[in-house]
Amino acid sequence: MESHAHRDRDPHSLSAAERADLRWGLERVLTQHAAGIPERDLARALQQALRHLPVVMLHDRLLPSGLVVEHLAIGPGGATVIAGWPVADLPAPLTVERLHGIFGARADLLRDGAAADRTALVGPVLERVAGVREVIDDWVSVESALCLDGDEPTARLRSLVVAGVTLAGPRAIAELAARDGDLHDYELASLVDVLDGALPPSLPRRR
């Protein structure tokens, strides 16, 4: 499948995202999921939210540790590790409880509408952030996000930050991924090259 409407244009006039599309065929990220996955798929929702933004997305990538990064966004402000979670599984409203202990110790607790502690959700995201940082050796900043997705209107969700992990719907996460930064187009392309080469696609999960 080819969707490269920009392939006949002068390469120097293309944006970083368009050149990445030309180089890596980024339409593949919309078709790499196994048949039977519902149309309302988080990868599709993120791609839709990012369609006009200078961000390249990699999906289901294997870290050297064996962990899988569900979604990895690369933009002018650096990389963003994104994991997904069904919003229907988290009774509203979500709140963050800031705990202050002795000697300046601090901790964040994520609580759902039933006051249950859901902080453990951010732990796997932080593990994957550490893995990506090891691969790029602090070349750029790496942010983290837990994207709440589902049939419910996530646009009304208030963004929260728990232990450095942003919790929000796809649109807010797309804005985080497209944050301003100092990466020029050629640097962004080089970063995508490094991550694309170092983090191979994971094997499809058998059901």
Q: Which residues contact 75 (CB under 8 A, 6 or more apart)?
A: 53, 54, 55, 56, 177, 178, 179, 181, 183, 188
Whose structure tokens read 């990445």?
20
Q: Evaluate if residue 101 carries a pLDDT over 60.
A: yes
pTM, rounded to two decimals: 0.78
pLDDT of residue 173: 94
- pLDDT cut 90: percent of the chain above it: 51
pLDDT of residue 35: 35
DSSP state of 66: S
What the block records as the tokens of 202 is 């994971």
Q: Evaluate if residue 133 carries a pLDDT over 80.
A: yes
Mean pLDDT of the chain: 80
Give the confidence band of 82 by pLDDT, cuts at 50, 70, 90.
very high
CA angle 175, 179, 182 (to 5 degrees): 165
As a whole number of angstroms, the distance between CA 41 and CA 70 comes to: 12
Whose structure tokens read 């599984």?
89
Whose structure tokens read 């942003």?
166
Cβ(157)–Cβ(148) under 8 Å? Answer: yes
Segment 145-186, tens digit of pLDDT? 999 987 655 545 678 999 999 999 998 999 999 999 999 988
Q: Is the peptide bond before 93 cis (omega within 30 degrees of 0)?
A: yes
In this predicted model, which residue has the larger pLDDT, 120 or 101? 120
